[in-house]
Amino acid sequence: MSAPGRPANADAHLVVVPDARRRGIGSALLADLSAHARAAGNETLQGEAREDDADSRNYLERRGYRVVGGEKAVALRLREIDAPLPAPPPGVEIVSRAQRPDIVEALYPIGLEALEDIPGVDDVPTFAQWRAIDVDRPTRKPELFFIALAGDEPVGYATMDDFGRDAHHGLTAVKREWRRRGVATALKHAQIAAAKQAGFHRLVTGSEERNTPMRNLNAKLGYRPEPSLSVVVLRGRADVRLPHGDDC
């Protein structure tokens, strides 16, 4: 759970394996998460559930949680395609973070611009939080993190997670004044080529369902729906009182 800059919403993640459900474990964990959120000054909890996970969605909705967004998952089967050749717009070069580790800090404001323009994203991370999520987590390999440079100025970046058999796209961020010039497409092509060369089976991504430009780009690049991985975002009060006899 995190509370960037003490926002109203605290991000939470709660999982109970199916065989252990309806024993009060989920309710105990939710109560503990709620207590931590309130102690941090957060009024609500927000988290994800698989779109097709009716049990989890019903459990949360009975406690007043409501769907406030969602991501539609798509996947590209890398063994079925040829590696694309990135073609950035004139004056732009695509490099990896392994090649240019010195410009990572300059990517933060680009990431903030992108987050501000994604429907359903309310909280702005601090630099430390952004770096921990987008740069430093172990699944973010420098050679799979691509940066678009106009001269020596970064104008966009795209992240990817190494999850073993599959790779998952992270944030694709482009400065507003550089959008609709082919920068995002070039970054995606660089990722696809690198993922195929690395031997991944699939590249998986999820775009907020209202993020039409990114969803259209993914479809153009050959990504196809993967409904089993689509998620909804639910939000509810952190002081919810659980109905008697309705434990999970």
pLDDT tens column, 50-90: 888 889 999 999 999 999 888 889 999 999 999 999 999 99
Once rounded to an integer, what is the mean pLDDT over residues 25-39?
A: 91
Can you list the pairs that 125-130 forms with residues at least 24 positions away whose Cβ atoms lie under 8 Å?
125/4, 125/5, 126/4, 126/5, 129/2, 129/4
pLDDT tens column, 97-128: 999 999 999 999 999 999 988 876 767 899 99
**What stretches of 9-103 show up as alpha helix (H) in DSSP?**
25-39, 54-61
In a domain, 77, yes or no: no
Print burial letters for 174-206: b (CB count within 10 Å at least 16), e (below 16).
Answer: bbeebbebbbbbbbbbbbbbbbbeeebebbbbb
Distance CA 145, CA 228 (A): 26
CA atoms 226, 97, 114, 13: torsion sign: positive
Give the total number of structural domains in the chain.
Answer: 2
Host domain of residue 15: 9-71+231-237
62 and 116 within one domain: no
- Split at pLDDT 50, 70, 90, the class of 240 is low
89 and 67 within one domain: no
Helix (H, G, I), strand (E, B) or coil at 83: coil
In the prediction, which pLDDT does 61 show? 92
111 and 60 within one domain: no
- Split at pLDDT 50, 70, 90, the class of 140 is very high
Q: Which of 6-15, 153-162, 183-192 has the lowest mean pLDDT?
A: 6-15
- Split at pLDDT 50, 70, 90, the class of 3 is very low
Identify each DSSP E strand in 78-145 by its residue range: 92-96
104 and 35 within one domain: no
How does strand 166-174 pair with strand 202-208?
parallel
19 and 128 within one domain: no
In the prediction, which pLDDT does 227 show? 83
Prediction pTM value: 0.73
Helix (H, G, I), strand (E, B) or coil at 236: strand
199 and 147 within one domain: yes
97 and 61 within one domain: no
151 and 121 within one domain: yes
In a domain, 247, yes or no: no
CA 110 to chain CA centroid, nearest Å: 16
Q: Which of 60-64, 172-176, 216-220 has the lowest mean pLDDT?
A: 216-220
Distance CA 165, CA 69 (A): 28
In a domain, 214, yes or no: yes
pLDDT tens column, 35-48: 989 998 888 999 99
For residues 15 and 134, is the Cβ–Cβ distance under 8 A? no
Q: Which CATH number does the domain housing residue 109 bear?
A: 3.40.630.30
In a domain, 244, yes or no: no
Q: How far is CA 198 from CA 5, 185, 202, 221, 225, in A?
A: 37, 20, 11, 19, 23
Q: How far is CA 165 from CA 21, 84, 117, 174, 242, in A?
A: 29, 20, 31, 28, 39
For residues 234 and 70, is the Cβ–Cβ distance under 8 A? no
Once rounded to an integer, what is the mean pLDDT over residues 32-37?
A: 91
In a domain, 195, yes or no: yes
In a domain, 76, yes or no: no
In a domain, 137, yes or no: yes
Distance CA 103, CA 153 (A): 9
186 and 90 within one domain: yes
In a domain, 3, yes or no: no
178 and 121 within one domain: yes
104 and 164 within one domain: yes
194 and 95 within one domain: yes
